[in-house]
Every structure is written in C-alpha cells, then in structure tokens.
Amino acid sequence: MTVKSDSGFTLIEVLVTFLITSVGLLGLAALQVNVMNDQFEAIQRAQITAMVDDMAARIRMNPKAAEAGTYTQDLIEGGAGYYGSLDVQPACSSPTAVLRDLCDWNRTIAGAARVSEGQNLASPLGARGCIESAAASGSGETIIRVSIAWQGMMNSVAPSASCGSGQYGSENLRRAVYRDVAVR
C-alpha cells in the first residue's frame, strides 16, 4: 500500500502570503506619497529662491531708491508690506523703476506667468513676499530683507523670518526664504 502526500498550498498559506504582500505594497505606497511631497516642496523652494534672488538683484541695481527706503514702503495699493496675494495687474507699466520692480515681483509671486481659466498656475501655495528694513550696519550700509513665505505640505521647524507669520495656521507649516541685501 502506498501513501499519497498532498501537494500544493492550503488556504491559510495563500491568505498569509496575500497579507504579507499587501502590507509591503501599502508601505511602498506610503513611501511614494512622502517622496512626492518632498519633491513638491523642493520644487517650490527652488522656485521661490529664484524669486527672492531676482528681487534682491533688482534692489542692488537701484541703490539710491534702496537707501531712500522706497522699496520698503507700501507702494502697491492694499499691499500692507505683502506681495503676491494682491490683484495682479495684466502688465506692469509704471513710470518709476521701483514700482515696476514691485509690480513685476508681485506678478511673479502670484504666478501670473501661467494663467488658465482665471487660475494662476505657477504660484507656490499661498506665497507672500515681504520687503522690510533689516538692522542697519555700522558701516553706512542700508540692509533690506527680501523674503517670501509659503505654505508647506508637512510639519517642519518654523522659520526664523517673520514674513507670513500667522498666515498659514500652524507655524510649522510656514516656509520662508530670505536674502539680506546690503546697499551702499
């Protein structure tokens, strides 16, 4: 008499294999979401860094207006020191260089370069620009801080720059990039 042995998988083995595979796939999905959020934040940071550097260069190119404090005044109606969240003009045709610089910067922050169906597509999340006088140095330089704040996707350490403070709910969601411009 010969004994037959059963071969194959039992239902429990199949279910355990399915459970282990599904946990692994859920882990991969969570990793993908984190990678996408990190990539989105990196793109926004790179975009905003270029915007801050652009305005800093404009201020350096106009030292007399910077020393006179013209860039730190509320020159765009309703601005209250913030740019990017205002009504965006279709074009900047101001007679003065400072107003043209601020209008261009406001349009850039608001994402006016790419508009579709009334929506600004190139704007970082809730971006707001600030231009303020920083502490004056003892060497006769005027120091102006150019900064942009925006809303991040995940909690992080709150930035030290004051731009956009209190505008994004939790301060741990606020991001900020700034440059101090020294003008002589």
- What is the tens place of the pLDDT at every residue in 129-179? 898 887 665 677 889 999 999 988 888 888 988 888 888 888 999 999 999
Cα–Cα distance, 27 to 37 (Å, whole number): 16
pTM tops 0.75:
yes
Residue 51 lies in a domain: yes
Residue 5 lies in a domain: no
User: Nearest Cα to 174, choosing from 162, 52, 160, 159?
Assistant: 159
* Structural domain of 176: 11-183
User: What tokens does 138 get?
Assistant: 């003892």
Residue 3 lies in a domain: no
| Total of domains in the chain | 1
| pLDDT tens digit sequence for 95-132 | 788 888 888 888 888 877 666 666 666 778 888 889 88
Residue 151 lies in a domain: yes
Residue 2 lies in a domain: no
